[in-house]
Amino acid sequence: MIQTGLDNLLANHAHLVKNRKIGIVAHPASITCRFTHILPALQRIGAHVTALFGPEHGFGGEAQDMEPVAAPVKGPGAIDLYSLYGATVQSLSPLKAAVADLDALVVDLMDVGARYYTFVWTAVLCLDVCHQTGTQLIVLDRPNPISGTTVEGAPQLDDFLSFVGLRKVPVRHGLTVAEIVRMVARQEGHSDVLTIVPMKGWQRHMYFDDTGLPWVMPSPNMPSLNTAIVYPGQCLLEATWCSEGRGTTLPFEYLGAPGLSGSELAAHLNRQSLPGVYFRPASFKPMFQKHAGQICKGVQAHITERHRFLPFKTGVAVLLALKQTAPAQFAWRTDPYEFISDIPAIDLLCGNDLVRKGIDSKASINDIAATWEAGEKHFLELKSQFHLY
């Protein structure tokens, strides 16, 4: 079993928090290898924890995606608890006054290896505020559960940065949280306030089930490693009328909508011979969010060879298939997405408008994939300078 940054801190670097006034940015997956949450774990080694901060979904992980969490309130032990995901863009950053009062702010967040999973951007915003206040930021690293080798998709274009990508990285970035924060700190001159406690024993080829660590849901719709593997592609369905399986027991593995033909969609997708995945016709009834209480017809994505599977390309292929098999139903999301109302959600997720325009013109999946290959290759060469492992 590997040591996470938290386990490494407890075993070898307790001096970083002992007898110091500490704030913690965490969620339910911020645990030791023996299931102890970071709050009591740090208190046991003498940290004076005076502030807690919850990212999207809240410190306790109860809120659904894009659901504002109210704050400030009192957390466990009557400690001040601040929300880093409220109803405004400003709420995404910790209050300077709350951070300036600390000796150090400790960030321990489980990521899933996809740019639009927002926890890494919460860590980056904490870096920004700590740089302004002169507060030490301590990032405890955790595995990228879908490995740290593969890169997919191009970094965003300048006009498409958002909370689903505050800095330029591909959709599947192949980095850990600490490595992305390290990249930003170096690029923006913030390294003076950053301390990283790395993992011990993690290797870049590892998937989460290679680590021996327990899986705890980092967010309400991330129940398993399988979910994380498909998420970099199936999350694109958030930008459409089609259900991405939220409200079921298999979010991001199921996709569909009332009136679709699951058999036609599955046949269309399987004819494309997308590597490492098979699509099975499926019916499901979401209990909440899109099409709640209605029977949806669609498919379930079954991963057959995860090392060959290309989730982002597969996700784009799914959108193309929906456009081609259900043209009368197909629709892009027009509601605001992650606090932005003047850019389509699909463009924010993809980091450009090229993918959407390719789908709308019914270009081939290979032609659309060609639009991100140069950026993908460049980042693959660039990212090694920020590797910790």
pLDDT of residue 12: 98
Q: Please report where in the chains the tokens 């959108």 appear, as a residue.
A: 319
Q: What is the helix, strand, coil percentage profile of the chain, to 5?
A: 35, 15, 45
CATH 3.30.420.40 is the classification of domain 225-372: no
Return the bridge partners of 104, or none. 22, 136
Spatial distance between the Cα atoms of 233 and 150, rounded to a whole number of angstroms = 14
Question: Do 119 and 218 contact (CB within 8 A), yes or no?
Answer: yes
pLDDT of residue 308: 97
For the beta carbon of residue 339, count every other beta carbon within 10 angstroms. 14
User: Where in the sequence of the chain do the CATH 3.90.1150.140 domains occur?
Assistant: 225-372
Q: Which residues contact 128 (CB under 8 A, 6 or more apart)?
A: 93, 190
Low-confidence stretches of the chain (pLDDT < 50) are none
pLDDT of residue 73: 85
User: Where in the sequence of the chain do the CATH 3.40.50.12170 domains occur?
Assistant: 5-217
Spatial distance between the Cα atoms of 142 and 174, rounded to a whole number of angstroms = 13
Q: What would the pLDDT profile of 173-196 be if each residue is shown by its tens digit?
A: 999 999 999 999 999 999 999 999
Spatial distance between the Cα atoms of 31 and 38, rounded to a whole number of angstroms = 6
Pick the CATH number of 5-217 from 3.40.50.2300, 3.30.460.30, 3.40.50.12170, 2.30.29.30: 3.40.50.12170
pLDDT of residue 18: 98
pLDDT of residue 132: 98
Q: Please report where in the chains the tokens 């774990």 appear, as a residue.
A: 41
pLDDT of residue 71: 78
Structure tokens at 324: 């081609």
